[in-house]
Amino acid sequence: MQPIGDEVVLFIFAVNLTFIILTEMKIVNYLIGILFVLFIAYLISLGCSFDAKDEMKDAEASLKELSEAAAMMTDPDLPLGEQIQNRKLMLVFNKLAEVNIEQARHNARDARRYQLTVISLCIASLLIFITLVVFGKIRNRQHAIVQEEQQLRISVLRLQNIRNRITPHFIFNELNRAISHANDAEQYRELQELVKLLRFSLQLNEKLGVTLKEELDFVRYYLDVERKRLGPDFEVEWMLDESVDAEKVLLPAMFIQILVENAIKHGLSLKEGEKRLRICVSRQTGGTRVCVSDNGLGYYPAHGQNLHNTGTGLKMLYQTADVLNGMNKEKLTVTVDNRKEDCGTEVCIFIPANYKIE
């Protein structure tokens, strides 16, 4: 029966500690294969150790037998010549036995070193495995926390959209009352168009994401209302790529309308003379590009304007893009540039293919 050495106790302790930790982390199934391989390696090392110990015992037994034989061969009753010959033989046998014992001891030391090396590698492998698993768990938890924060931000944005619908809803009711008392036919028609715009706005605000077709239809309603305020000098140019399927491209609601509204409010409404607005939709590698440009006053970063420090509309646009980009590998981008060939501003949105909105 072989005694249990310190290395065996250490190995068993490491295995049990690892099992307890990984049981708590609910990943024991991943450990079974690794433990099996390590256990086989440990059994091999134990076998080498036991073989070395057996060699040592055999050598010691041989030496004991030689000693007993020597006692018999040194019988004083034997002739002197035979006693001398026996002593010479015993010296040779003793030398061989000592060599065998030393070799057995050397093999035992090598086997023990090998066993300790295997145990050390087993423990190191377990520690590395535990470290990798722990870091993986930490990374997954951090990712889950980020996703929870993003979902919370989306919920906040939806609440803001709900609050933003309160004012249009109130105005919508008031306009219906005004229509019922309108006497002039032109006034009646204008009020009807405004009500239609507000109704469309309420429908879009109920969604976080809309199709490109829905967004462009809403922009057309909006421009029909704004056209009268801007006068006959106002022109709109539509450049729509026929290869773009507007019913399949998804984007956050009101994104293009916000850009058009800002182009009119900050660029064209303050401009004298010809006022041009261009809306361009084109297919790009990996997605769809929508650009809104005007010949207004332009955007000048040197004047201290901050792209993220804008009015409510653009601020909501950037906040929404930041939240949604956190849920997508490919990012939605917004760029603002001064037009080189003409005065004014060009704002472009790149919408990646298969962009997730909700």
Tens place of pLDDT per residue across the chain (358 aa): 444 445 555 555 555 555 555 555 555 555 555 555 556 555 555 555 545 555 556 555 655 655 555 555 555 665 666 666 666 666 666 676 676 667 767 776 776 777 677 677 767 777 777 777 778 788 888 888 887 777 767 766 665 664 565 455 556 655 665 566 566 776 667 777 777 777 777 777 667 788 999 999 989 988 888 887 788 889 999 999 999 999 999 998 888 988 998 888 888 888 888 899 999 999 999 999 999 999 887 764 444 444 444 556 677 778 888 888 888 889 999 988 876 666 788 999 999 998 988 6
What's the token pair of residue 272? 């004298």
What element of type H or E holds 336? strand 333-338
275-284 and 234-240 strand pairing:
parallel
The CA distance from 263 to 223, in Å, is: 12
Alpha-carbon distances, residue 169 vs 84, 176, 202 (angstroms): 127, 11, 8
List the Cα angle 228/231/235 in 5-degree steps. 95
How far separated are the first and last CA of the chain, in Å rounded?
Answer: 68
Cα-Cα-Cα-Cα dihedral of 349, 354, 356, 358, to 10°?
120
The DSSP 8-state label assigned to residue 268 in this structure reads I
CA distance 109 to 98: 16
Tokens 């909006």, residue located: 222
- Positive/negative CA dihedral, 314, 159, 251, 148: positive
CA distance 46 to 8: 9
Q: Which of 268, 319, 321 is nearest to 296 (CA)?
A: 268
- Structure confidence at residue 3 (pLDDT): 45
* Eight-class DSSP state of 354: T
User: How far apart (Å, rounded) are the C-alpha atoms in residues 23 and 21?
Assistant: 5
Q: Residue count of the chain, please give it.
A: 358
Rg (CA), the chain: 44
Are 287 and 351 spatial neighbours (Cβ–Cβ below 8 Å)? Answer: yes
Contact 122, 46 (CB under 8 A): no
Other CB atoms within 10 Å distance of the CB of residue 198: 19
User: Pick from 228, 160, 233: which is nearest to 194 by CA?
Assistant: 228
pLDDT the model gives residue 140 = 83
Instruction: Note the pLDDT of residue 136.
Output: 77
| CB-side neighbour CA atoms (13 Å) of 138 | 6
| Sign of the alpha-carbon dihedral angle for 66, 68, 71, 73 | negative
pTM beyond cutoff 0.95: no
Q: Please, which residues have CB within 8 angstroms of residue 27's CB and are 6 or more apart in sequence?
A: 133
The tokens for 329 are 């590998």
Helix %, strand %, coil % for the chain, to 5?
A: 65, 15, 20
Question: From CA 248, how far away is CA 128, in angstroms rounded?
Answer: 48
